[in-house]
């Protein structure tokens, strides 16, 4: 069976978890949402190329892809027996979940035979299922290694009263519990949004003073983009936080609360010893609520547990802290990842502001990393642009080097430079350019006409340019089209009409659409007597 090639980002994550975190292939597969055979295959390619972690900074994703996949694929393991057994855990869950629909074993066996026509008969199917059920344990007791896992979840919190309006604003309670010691962190947030989710993680790590080897979150959208039992996809920003702290993320399976029984129990304890204690208290700000939660949290973590006669804090200092990872020197700065497509004007739109990227990436998809102060643009893992973050709507942030050379040259022109060039041709040309720029609502609107007149000077001598400009000024037809028409029709070689008295008829300028009296005299109708 052909295996779909992983993205470079996921292959790098496999390498990081193997060489930086020292995880087994099984845990790497669970964290990245891929099979163990795929982990083995890609690590074999890495070893055959002699690559090490961290990768060289100048190694782009294209170069890494070329090194890893220029050879023939690593042979995969053979498939299973000709009569594969069904996944009886799925069969068992299907029967339990759809009992109200009268789902039967025979229906599941028929679906199994549609998938495997040469599979076992119905009698054998039922016999193997009965044998599998006899091996079931009601609950598997999980033993957590010190410093290994931190379980994370949300639960419904208390209300905060808006002092101005009296509105009751609900909160959520973020809970993080260590696997071995059960040390718990909790705080209230107004939302479960990505910024709140990330900030709660940072504050939890600061509270603990260390980080685990593995994070086990629930399948919240802020942490897991696509919840799946076998291949969950992490939110890119959450994966960025994991890389910063050097941890792996293994999301709990959807609808499997036993996968995170520790935090489920931690949530119950937080409700009992924090929320229930505060149920009659009124809070007018989130800060006041969290300050009180922190006081009760310390009582919870220092309270002796009956069975072990030690507190959660004591167990944490003895078990989890010595085996946990140290905090990095700098705390994680929240950065959100987005995808964008470079527009034809070599800008991308982020939050209604436009940022430039090198023009050669026009119409290409790019990755954008956003912090509160900076914006970075990446293509195939390489940074191609960086800007200071701007929140001004419908405005542009443009770097000159990102522009094509023709556009850069256009920027070099300004009204004073255009006028100086025109005056180098002559006084009438200078006056004409000044007139064009002055007649526009904004001088830049006249740049094209002035540059067009400049282009005409390459084809006509200065004398003719000056005469044409004088004629255009005389007849008040100050435009590029008028100059071009005068020069092409050689009207600049004609003498200008003498000034006439005020009472005389106005002089009609030369124009293609004006025929004049001579035209009608030469085309008199013959049938008129």
Distance, CA of 157 to CA of 175 (rounded, Å)? 11
- DSSP state, 400? G
Q: Do residue 348 and residue 295 come from a single domain? A: no
Average pLDDT over residues 498-523: 52
Q: Do residue 240 and residue 186 come from a single domain? A: yes
Does the residue 60 lie in any domain?
A: yes
Query: Which residues, at least 6 apart from 264, have a Cβ–Cβ distance to it below 8 Å?
Result: 153, 257
Does the residue 509 lie in any domain?
A: no
**Coil, strand or helix at 454:** helix
For 223-346, list the strands marked E by DSSP.
224-226, 233-234, 248-249, 325-326, 336-341
Give the residue ranges of DSSP H helices in 135-224. 194-208
Q: Do residue 16 and residue 165 come from a single domain? A: no
List the 248-249 sheet strands across, edge first: 184-189, 168-178, 149-161, 214-217, 248-249
Other C-beta atoms lying within 10 Å of the C-beta of residue 504: 8
Tokens 């739109």 label which residue?
A: 349
Query: Which is more confident, 103 or 499?
Result: 103
Q: Is the pLDDT of residue 479 over 80?
A: yes
Does the residue 140 lie in any domain?
A: no
Q: Do residue 166 and residue 302 come from a single domain? A: yes
Q: Do residue 225 and residue 353 come from a single domain? A: no
Q: Do residue 231 and residue 292 come from a single domain? A: yes
Could you say which of 326, 350, 375 is where a domain stops? Answer: 326
- Residue 79's pLDDT is what? 39
Distance, CA of 359 to CA of 376 (rounded, Å)? 16
Q: Do residue 308 and residue 170 come from a single domain? A: yes
Does the residue 513 lie in any domain?
A: no
Angle at 3 between CA 77 and CA 45, to 5 degrees: 70
Q: Is the pLDDT of residue 18 over 70?
A: yes
Q: Could you give the count of Cα atoms lying within 13 Å of 350 in the half-sphere of its Cβ?
A: 29
Q: Do residue 354 and residue 385 come from a single domain? A: yes
Q: Cα dist. 169→130, 196, 221, 275, 284 in Å?
A: 52, 16, 22, 16, 10
Does the residue 506 lie in any domain?
A: no
Could you say which of 283, 299, 326 is where a domain stops? Answer: 326
Q: Do residue 119 and residue 153 come from a single domain? A: no
Does the residue 128 lie in any domain?
A: yes
Does the residue 83 lie in any domain?
A: no
Mind spelling out the 3-state secondary structure of 43-76? HHHHHHCCCCCCCCCCCCHHHHHHHHHCCCCCCC
- Residue 227's pLDDT is what? 40
What is the CATH classification number for the domain harbouring 47?
1.10.10
Q: Do residue 281 and residue 201 come from a single domain? A: yes
Does the residue 139 lie in any domain?
A: no
Nearest CA to 224 out of 260, 197, 263 is that of: 197
Q: Is the pLDDT of residue 461 over 90?
A: yes
Q: Is the pLDDT of residue 61 over 60?
A: yes
pTM as predicted: 0.53
Using CB atoms within 10 Å of the CB of residue 37, give its burial: 0 to 12 exposed, 13 to 18 middle, 19+ buried. middle
- For residue 18, give its domain range: 8-69
Q: Is the pLDDT of residue 308 over 80?
A: no
Could you say which of 350, 382, 404 is where a domain stops? Answer: 404
Q: Do residue 423 and residue 441 come from a single domain? A: yes
pLDDT tens for 360-400 read 998 899 999 888 788 999 998 889 999 998 888 888 888 88
Helix (H) or strand (E) holding 385: strand 382-388
Burial 293-327 (b: 16+ CB within 10 A, else e): beebbeebbeeeeeeeeebbbbbbeebbbeebeee
- Residue 117's pLDDT is what? 85
What is the CATH classification number for the domain harbouring 265?
3.30.420.10
Q: Do residue 173 and residue 316 come from a single domain? A: yes
User: N- to C-terminal Cα distance for the chain?
Assistant: 99
Q: How many domains does the chain have?
A: 5
Q: Lowest mean pLDDT of 9-23, 73-87, 205-219, 396-410, name the range.
A: 73-87
């Amino acid at each position: 069976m052909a295996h779909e090639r992983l993205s470079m980002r996921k292959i790098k994550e496999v390498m990081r978890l193997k060489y930086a975190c020292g995880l087994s292939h099984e845990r790497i597969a669970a964290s990245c949402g891929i099979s163990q055979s795929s982990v083995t295959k890609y690590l074999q390619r890495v070893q055959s190329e002699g690559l090490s972690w961290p990768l060289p900074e100048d190694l782009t994703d294209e170069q890494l892809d070329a090194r890893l996949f220029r050879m023939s694929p690593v042979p995969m393991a053979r498939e299973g027996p000709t009569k594969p057994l069904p996944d009886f855990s799925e069969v068992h869950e299907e029967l339990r979940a759809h009992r109200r629909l009268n789902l039967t074993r025979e229906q599941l066996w028929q679906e199994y035979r549609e998938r495997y026509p040469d599979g076992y008969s119905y009698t054998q199917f039922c016999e193997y299922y009965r044998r599998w059920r006899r091996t079931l344990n009601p609950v598997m007791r999980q033993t957590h290694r010190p410093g290994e896992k931190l379980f994370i979840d949300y639960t419904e919190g208390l209300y905060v009263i808006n002092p101005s309006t009296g509105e009751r604003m609900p909160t959520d309670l973020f809970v993080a519990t260590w696997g071995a010691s059960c040390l718990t962190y909790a705080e209230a947030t107004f939302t479960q949004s990505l910024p709140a989710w990330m900030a709660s993680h940072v504050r939890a790590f600061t509270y603990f003073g260390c980080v685990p080897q593995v994070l086990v979150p629930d399948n919240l959208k802020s942490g897991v983009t696509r919840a799946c039992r076998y291949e969950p996809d992490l939110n890119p920003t959450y994966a960025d936080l994991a890389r910063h702290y050097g941890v792996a993320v293994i999301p709990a399976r959807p609808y499997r609360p036993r996968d995170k029984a520790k935090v489920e129990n931690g949530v119950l304890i937080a409700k009992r010893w924090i929320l229930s204690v505060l149920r009659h208290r009124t809070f007018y700000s989130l800060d006041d609520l969290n300050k009180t939660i922190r006081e009760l949290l310390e009582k919870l973590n220092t309270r002796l547990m009956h069975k072990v006669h030690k507190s959660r804090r004591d167990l944490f200092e003895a078990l989890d802290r010595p085996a946990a990872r140290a905090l990095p020197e700098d705390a994680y700065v929240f950065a959100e990842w987005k995808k964008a497509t470079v527009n034809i004007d070599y800008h991308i739109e982020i939050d209604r502001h436009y940022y430039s990227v090198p023009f050669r990436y026009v119409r290409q998809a790019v990755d954008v990393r956003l912090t509160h102060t900076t914006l970075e643009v990446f293509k195939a893992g390489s940074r191609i642009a960086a800007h200071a973050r701007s929140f001004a709507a419908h405005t542009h942030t443009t770097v000159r080097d990102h522009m094509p050379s023709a556009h850069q040259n256009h920027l070099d022109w300004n009204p004073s430079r255009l006028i100086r060039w025109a005056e180098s041709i002559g006084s009438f040309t200078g006056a004409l350019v000044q007139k064009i720029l002055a007649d526009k609502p904004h001088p830049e609107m006249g740049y094209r006409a002035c540059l067009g007149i400049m282009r005409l000077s390459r084809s006509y001598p200065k004398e003719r340019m000056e005469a044409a400009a004088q004629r255009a000024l005389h007849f008040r037809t100050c435009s590029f089209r008028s100059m071009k028409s005068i020069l092409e029709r050689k009207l600049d070689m004609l003498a200008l009409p003498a000034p006439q008295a005020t009472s005389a008829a106005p002089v009609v300028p030369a124009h293609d659409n004006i025929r004049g009296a001579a035209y009608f005299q030469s085309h008199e109708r013959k049938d008129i007597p």
